[in-house]
Amino acid sequence: MRNYWSLLPAVLVTVGLILVYAVPTIINPQWTSSIMALFRTAPLPDDPTAEESRRAAGVLGPQQLRSRRMLAIAMVLGAIALIGFNIFSLNREAVGCYKAARAFGAEDGPDTKDPCYEMIYGSFMGDGTGQPTEAKPQPVEYYQLVKGKKPKYLKWIQNAPKYDDADLIIGVLGKCSSDVIVQQLDDQIKVFIDSDVPCPPDSNISVLSVKLKKPLGDRKLVTVGDKEMTAINPDLDSWFTVVKKLATGG
C-alpha cells in the first residue's frame, strides 16, 4: 500500500531547515556568520593578526556579505520551487487517479477527497478466474488495453496490480470486485460480474489487471449478451500538459 502524500513531511522538514538559515541570512548575513563562528574549533595563533581575529569571529567583508545574501535568496527560491513542484505533483497524481476512477464508472462522493488512496485501488479479492455460478450475470462496461506504456496512475493506487503484468485492466465498482470473471476464449475475451443483482452505484472503483495468455489479436472484449465493452484510456496528465494548463489557465 502506497500513500502518495507520504513524502510531503520530508519535503516540509527540508524546506523548514533551509528557511531557518536563509531568512536570517537575507536580513543580515553577519548574524548567521557570527553564530556559526561560535562552533568553530580551530585555535587562534598566539599572536593573531587583525584579519585572523576578524575571520575567527565570523566578521564578513562587503563582498562576503553580498555573496552570502545572494546564496540565501537562491536557497529561498529553491525552497519555493520544491514546495511548488510537490504541490503540483500531488495535484497531478490526484487528478489522474480521479480521472481514471470516473472513467471506470465511479461517482463523485466522499472518496474523491483522496482519490489515489480511496477512490481507485487494486482488487483485494478475486483475480478474475473461476467458474460462473449465477444464471443471470451482470455486465462490465469498461476496460483499458495496455500497449507498451503503462498507465502511471497504477503506481499511486493502494494495493496496485503488478505494474509489468498488466495487459488488460478491468475496472468495476468496489462492491462487485470480488465477483469479476474474465474468460479468455479463442474467439473473444468475455468479462462479467458473477452476480444476479446489478452492482449499486459507488464512489470507488477496484481495478483488476489481467495477463493475456496470448496476444489479443482480432479478439473482441465482450460482456453479458456478447455486447462489446467500451475501451477507455485514462492516465495522469504529462508535465507539459500541466505547465500548459497553468500558463493558460485551462
Please report, in tens digits, the pLDDT of each residue of the chain (250 residues total): 345 556 677 778 888 888 888 888 888 888 777 777 666 665 666 666 666 566 665 677 788 888 888 998 998 998 888 887 777 788 888 889 999 999 999 999 988 888 988 999 988 877 788 888 888 999 999 999 988 778 888 888 888 877 667 789 999 998 888 899 999 999 999 999 999 898 889 999 999 988 888 988 899 999 999 999 999 988 887 878 777 776 776 6
Distances from the Cα of 175 to the Cαs of 7, 121, 141, 201, in angstroms? Answer: 31, 12, 15, 9
Which DSSP letter does residue 198 get? Answer: P
Query: If you average pLDDT over every residue of the chain, what do you get?
Result: 83
- The confidence score (pLDDT) of residue 2 equals 44
Cα R_g (the chain), whole angstroms: 29
Report the alpha-carbon distance of residue 209 to residue 93 in Å, rounded. 20
Residue 184: its H or E element: strand 180-184
Please check whether residue 124 is in contact with residue 159, taking contact to mean a CB–CB distance below 8 angstroms: yes
Please check whether residue 195 is in contact with residue 179, taking contact to mean a CB–CB distance below 8 angstroms: yes
Beta strands 180-184; 205-210: pairing state: unpaired
Residue 234: its H or E element: none
